[in-house]
Amino acid sequence: MIDHIVREIARLKFVNDLSCCKNVSAFLPELGDRLPREMLRYVSVLLPLLANESYQLRNGLVQMIGSIVVRCFHPSILQQQQQQLAKRKQRRQSRRDEDDDDEEDRERDDAEEDEDEADDEEEKTDKTKDREQLLEILKQRFYDVSGYTRKKTIQTWIHICEERAIPIKHFLEVAKLAVGRLEDKSSKVRESAIELLSALLRFNPFLHELPLTDFNYKLKEAEQRLTTAEQTLQSFLSFQSIITPSPVSSKPAPKGKKGKKSAKTIDENEDGEEKAEIENPWKDLNEAQLSAEEEKLKQEVSKALKTFQYFRDSVNFIETIHSSTPTLCTLLGSSNLSDIEGSIGFFVAAQNFKLECAEEGVRKMLLLVWSKDAQIKKLVSQAYSSLYLDPEVIAQTIDSLDAGNELDDEAGGIRPNQKQNKELRNKKIALIQATNLIRLTQSASSAELASIEELVTEFTKSQTLSTDAISSLWRIFGRRYNDSVRQQSLGALIILSMAANADPSIIRSQFQLLVSKGLGARWKKEEAFAQYTCLALQKMITFSNVPSKKPDDAEGGSKIRVLAPIRERYPTDHALIQRLSLVIVGHSHSLDKWFPAAEQAINAIYCLSESPDQVCSKLVKLLATRLFDPSSKSSKDALSPMVDDDDEEDDEEKNEAAEKEEDPKAKSDQSCSVSTITRFVFVVGHVALRQLQYLEEIQAELERRRHQQQSSKSNSSSKKNANESIEDELGIGATVDEADEHIQHVIEKEVVSKNLLGAFSPMIIQICKNSEKKFNNHTLRATAIISLCKFMCVSSEFCEAHLQLLFTLLKHSESWIRSDIIISLGDLCSRHPNSLEPWTPHLYNQLRDSDPSVRRNTLRVLSHLILNEMIKVKGQISEIARCIDDADSNISGLARLFFQQLDHKNSGNKSNNSIFSFLPDIISNLSSPDAQISADSFRNVMRHLFAYVKQERHVESLIDKICARLRTTSELEQITNFAFCLNLLSLSDKSFKKLKEKFDTYKDKLVDDTVFDFFIQIVGKAKKNC
């Protein structure tokens, strides 16, 4: 019956019979699963179905073949069959030994048994051949024309892999095919390919850990052992060829004259090296022993060869997995959720298998924590939690580890492999959690640290990061400082400052330890300790938010941070404030490391001090004295009472500092150095910016009190009239308004114009201009320009007065200065949009800068300003559009992302900022000769932008506008570009009629062959669509 059914299926044509195809595609896998041995005989009959147009039939046949491979050729089944053949052979041998028949019968039985053995071997060979053919058929289906069949093929291979039915020699090839499908145009195929790679990792026939470095080392060792074994065997065979044993060599060779004569003859015929080879343990062996030795050496060579092949296959497989990393990292940025989810799962699996390539993917996953998709954020959070914080995984690691000195010290000396009570085991788990997070911060970039901070904050909120882990971090931070624990201690501090975002009590509970260690002697060797200590101290203070006067369309009103309560602030003479001041004015080994430390110290002073303006005023005066009057003793006396440091780690530092202060020659040589000027300029600029924020916080506090009063009035309506009359008499409402106006006046007229800070603005301007070429130090000039921009952020009047200077610097300065100015201009546009509005074209011009870093920063700034509606979008958006085809892939990616976000932001509304409304101007601007853009680049840009034109009315409107421009232009290049854009539109019947109605506008342009070809293509596409 099976024969009749299968042959009937093979004869069917399946022409336009979808239901029949669907039924057969479901029937074939069932047959393969239930009757695999029977269906194996009919595979050749059904193979022509792979050429059928129906992908469903091909899917069914692929699944059937996969079931046959698993059911008929599983290693366990083949092993059982081999065991049965061995038992059958053993029984034959037993019968042969026990048989007492005559010689003729015995010969006949031997012939029959030999024939049976030959049949068994032939059957074994045929099965191996059948399996190889079936696997080759499945490999070929990786290249099927249908994405559905490619997906089904990969899923079939996943099933075979999970059943451990893939032979080792096919493992590498299947992995390479899966890597190739990662770039498939079908997202479903890519998703299945990632699943197959993960399955190949989980069920690999090698080891549970696959570090490439270790396997390369083992491969070299195996190669050396193989070479040694082969050389030894070759030497033995050479020895055998030289010494041919005599018939009596079954006995040990006598020591008489014959033996001496033979040895003498050999010594005369061979040189010294061959003599050394001959004089070895083999020369005293008899023939039987020589045969046994030869067999032993051959077995050693065979064993060494198998070991070498094993590690060679392992290395090739690991390298294949490594080759998938770039593509998978790219898929992490895909717009398809399945690509992202699959890539995250793969990198988690790869990290568990200790693959070095996983580190790159795990790092890139960090950026996904900022995704707007809640599901993606959840996937990233779960991935990092499983990698670094999962207690069950860590418990398994503890059980598999030997006792470690560090773990023993922290866990009370109990070794991991001994019985432990629950408390000590939790303590060890917490220590490993803390160490894992610290390792994550090492060598991390600033962007990665920001992403880690978001993750740690989430872990703290959800209590995934336990209190025991926090305690372990504090213990690691509190260890006695030396070079061996420096990175560990700093990493613990960074994680603690991140966790304080969600729980400020983490810092409050260990305030004394944080200040004594972080602001003690450690920061003098490593300024990063001061930076992150100041950052952590700022998290200790809680702030409240109030609605600003400026409404926000997205959230119904923006929020402004108000001052912390006075009870949470410290007086100016407090030891903490003095330590923070010392970070700013104290000695530093590196300016690059001092800048972030001093910035956070100033931020901490404004956050924690009762009178931050007074503290910073003293610091500015002290630095000014050092700069303009270095011989004065006031600078030394000002710092002497600052800190009474009782930390035992400070002794050595104090002695070094004392030696430096006692050397007047060294001090005089360093007076008024570039470093001193740079530090002074930086502090003045940042204090100005923080003073602005401080005054705005006071304004917000007044606003909060006003809202509170209004709220209390509405709750007590019975006393409303009385309160209003009292306030009118006392002038309370007027007083609040006057205070607000006074603060605004101070910001605009005094902070950077008249007072202490304003006195140094001419010096900063002079350094920026560098008209006399006295200030050529790069760091000094960059710091001065940034400080100038901070001054401009404070006051709109100061900003307008110096915009000309800033844009002059932007035009004529070095590339690294231009990059800094571009970033600052973004802040100025947010702060003073009306003042910067006339200068916007100059900002767009930087998108044509020769330096990629300048173009990249400009594109980021403009994207932020446009997407947040801080500047109006005008015709200059064509400059952003041309970046789509920029030579720098990062710039091209940013430009594409900008238009994607712009389209998403305006989807579903009739905003004038939709991409459709900008397209006509973009086409005209990029088509003009002044655009200086090649034809290929123009077409690449248009292909990307026209993909956002989807609505029928937009297509018709573009036809009207492009045809109107075709009528008025006479430039052949512009005409060709307009015709190309028309060809990109997806025309319906209605829009094609609109194009025909506009024939008069372009009929005279059809004389050009290129333009004519574009219109022919338009007609051809219209015939298919209409």
Alpha-carbon gap, residue 419 to 936, rounded angstroms: 71
Over residues 813-854, the pLDDT tens digits come to: 888 889 999 999 999 999 999 999 999 989 999 999 999 999
HSE, CB side, 13 Å, CA atoms: give it for residue 167.
14
Q: Which has the minimum average pLDDT: 265-269, 552-556, 680-684, 850-854?
A: 552-556
Which ranges constitute the DSSP H helices of 73-186?
75-98, 103-140, 147-162, 168-180
Q: Which residue has the higher pLDDT, 963 or 407?
A: 963
pLDDT of residue 825: 93
- Determine phi and psi for 425, rounding to 5 degrees: -65, -40
Amino acid type, 100: D
Both structure tokens of 808:
């002059």
How many CB atoms are located within 10 Å of the residue 818 CB? 21
Q: What is the mean pLDDT of residues 162-184?
A: 91
pLDDT of residue 442: 87
pLDDT of residue 652: 45
Alpha-carbon gap, residue 792 to 533, rounded angstroms: 30
919, 875 Cβ separation under 8 angstroms? no
Alpha-carbon gap, residue 708 to 702, rounded angstroms: 10
pLDDT of residue 290: 79
Q: 252 in helix, strand or coil?
A: coil
Strands (E) in 485-584, as ranges, are 545-547, 559-561
Q: At what angle do helices 358-365 and 374-388 cross, to 10 degrees?
A: 130
Grade residue 576 by pLDDT with cuts at 50, 70 and 90: very high
Cα angle 354-203-210, degrees, rounded to a multiple of 5: 20
pLDDT of residue 219: 93
- In this predicted structure, the answer to whether residue 51 has a pLDDT above a threshold of 70 is yes
Query: Closest Cα partner for 977 from 1003, 1001, 953, 1005?
Result: 1005
Amino acid type, 900: Q
pLDDT of residue 991: 87
For 455, counting Cβ atoms within 10 Å of its Cβ (0-12 exposed, 13-18 middle, 19+ buried), the class is: buried
Over residues 664-711, the pLDDT tens digits come to: 444 444 445 888 999 999 999 999 999 999 998 888 888 887 777 777
Grade residue 426 by pLDDT with cuts at 50, 70 and 90: confident
262, 224 Cβ separation under 8 angstroms? no
Q: For the chain, first and last CA: distance in Å?
A: 51
Q: 931 in helix, strand or coil?
A: helix
Sign of CA dihedral 408, 414, 416, 420: negative
pLDDT of residue 469: 92
859, 902 Cβ separation under 8 angstroms? no
Both structure tokens of 951:
């609505």
Q: Which residues of 672-701 are buried (b: 16+ CB within 10 A; e: fewer)?
A: eeebebbbbbbbbbbbbbbbbebbbbbbbb
Q: At what angle do helices 187-202 and 147-162 cross, to 10 degrees?
A: 10
Query: Closest Cα partner for 597 from 685, 535, 674, 647?
Result: 535
For 617, counting Cβ atoms within 10 Å of its Cβ (0-12 exposed, 13-18 middle, 19+ buried), the class is: middle
Amino acid type, 360: E
- Determine phi and psi for 546, rounding to 5 degrees: -130, 155
Q: What is the mean pLDDT of residues 638-666?
A: 46
Say what the pTM is: 0.79
Query: Closest Cα partner for 676 from 788, 591, 789, 786?
Result: 591
345, 365 Cβ separation under 8 angstroms? no
Alpha-carbon gap, residue 981 to 265, rounded angstroms: 96
200, 175 Cβ separation under 8 angstroms? yes
Q: Which residues of 526-560 are buried (b: 16+ CB within 10 A; e: fewer)?
A: bbbbbbbbbbbbbbbbeeeebbeeeeeeeeeeeeb
Query: Closest Cα partner for 324 from 184, 471, 467?
Result: 184
Grade residue 191 by pLDDT with cuts at 50, 70 and 90: very high
HSE, CB side, 13 Å, CA atoms: give it for residue 934.
7
pLDDT of residue 394: 84
Grade residue 715 by pLDDT with cuts at 50, 70 and 90: low
pLDDT of residue 97: 61
Question: Considering the chain, what percentage of its residues have pLDDT values greater than 70?
Answer: 79
- In this predicted structure, the answer to whether residue 950 has a pLDDT above a threshold of 70 is yes
Amino acid type, 202: R
Both structure tokens of 363:
């790092």
Q: Which residue has the higher pLDDT, 717 or 426?
A: 426
Query: Closest Cα partner for 788 from 758, 749, 750?
Result: 758
Q: Which has the minimum average pLDDT: 64-78, 213-227, 295-309, 790-804?
A: 64-78
- In this predicted structure, the answer to whether residue 556 has a pLDDT above a threshold of 70 is no
Over residues 241-263, the pLDDT tens digits come to: 776 544 444 444 444 444 444 44
387, 463 Cβ separation under 8 angstroms? no
Q: Which residue has the higher pLDDT, 50 or 549?
A: 50
Q: At what angle do helices 187-202 and 287-323 cross, to 10 degrees?
A: 150
- Determine phi and psi for 570, rounding to 5 degrees: -120, 150
Query: Closest Cα partner for 942 from 871, 1000, 881?
Result: 881
- Determine phi and psi for 471, rounding to 5 degrees: -65, -40
Sign of CA dihedral 981, 983, 988, 991: positive
Q: Which has the minimum average pLDDT: 95-109, 429-443, 597-611, 1005-1019?
A: 95-109
Q: Which residue has the higher pLDDT, 861 or 413?
A: 861
